A and B are shown apart, each in its own frame.
Chain A
Amino acid sequence: MKHQIPPLVDKRVLRPAQTALALALVDQMDLLRIKAIARIYARGLPQDGAWEDMLQEALTRVLTGSRRRPEGVAMVVFVAGILRSLRADYWRRAKRESGDERLRIDHQRDESLALELADPTPGPERALSARQEINLIKLLFSDDRAVLKIIDGLGDGLTAEQIRLSTRLSKTGYDSARRRMRRRVLREGMTCEPR
């Protein structure tokens, strides 16, 4: 007599993405955009395949109604917002669990008036991880100097006009660099390659 290992994923149960598709909350193109966004926001998070969990969790929140879409907001934009907040939640939880990142402000005379606050600055581990992720993002565009300059400008918080002036790109040159950047983002977003 032979035994079968039960599959670890029951294919009869619909995944949140499939449910969202079946309910016409999103179409296939939207799902691909959402996948690209999830892969962007999962950068720097420690688990392997975190993007997939984040994506399905975001869609679950939409389906269960724990996050409600305001009128007039496109579904992709709405899900992108949830993905962003899931990332922030992760770091908040990680910081709380580590417990040692607190700022203490002592009072000169009265010890009872001392304040203890959460340290808003990223810890060394998070700062290092962020730096590594920026380098990895730049590696994606390593053959395109114009895009690399745009990324530097975005990191510095410059506006499109400021980036264009600082990089001395013409409007056409800037727009075409942004298009190349978008295409690379979509291409990277459609794969499942580990980074």
Chain B
Amino acid sequence: MRTKIKRIPPDTALMRIMDALAQEAIEASDEEVTEAAADLRMDLNSRESAAFAGLTYSARPQMSEFFSVEVPKSLQAPTEGIAGKPPAQPADRQRRSKRLRIAIERKRPEK
């Protein structure tokens, strides 16, 4: 009788390997984690250590990290064209609010 040949799909093989590697990370002692960080010259006592990228701060670069956050107003002008100007108050409403302000000022108690 011929030997039965079992073909393992690459996806299954990858999953098995990943499970085994994940198990290695689970079983790693604190000393092993510290040693691995030391190999990479990472200081685990520092909050900004690269080891914590993706954990306590984003590992993906942010736009504000590369570009100056101070931008002249002229650069922002095109967005006005896209978003449109804020709607102006109707003339009668402006007049009314002005009248209201005057009335409030008159009602203020004298010192």
Contacts and interface: CB of A to CB of B under 8 A. Distances in A.
Chain A: number of interface residues, binned into ranges: 35 or more
Contacts of B69: 4-5, 7
A137 interface: yes
Contacts of B71: 2-5
Contacts of B105: none
Nearest to B63: A8
Nearest to A156: B8
A191 B17 CA distance: 20
Given A7-B62, A52-B60, A182-B32, A154 B17 contact: yes
Given A35-B54, A187-B39, A3 B25 contact: no
A182 B18 contact: no
A31 B56 CA distance: 9
Contacts of B14: 43-44, 130, 133-134, 155
A37 B25 contact: yes
Interface of B: 8-14, 16-22, 24-28, 30, 32-37, 39-40, 42, 44, 50-60, 62-64, 67, 69-73, 76
19 contacts: A2-B70, A2-B71, A2-B72, A15-B55, A15-B57, A29-B34, A33-B26, A35-B51, A36-B25, A38-B54, A43-B18, A52-B58, A80-B22, A127-B10, A155-B14, A157-B12, A185-B24, A187-B36, A189-B25
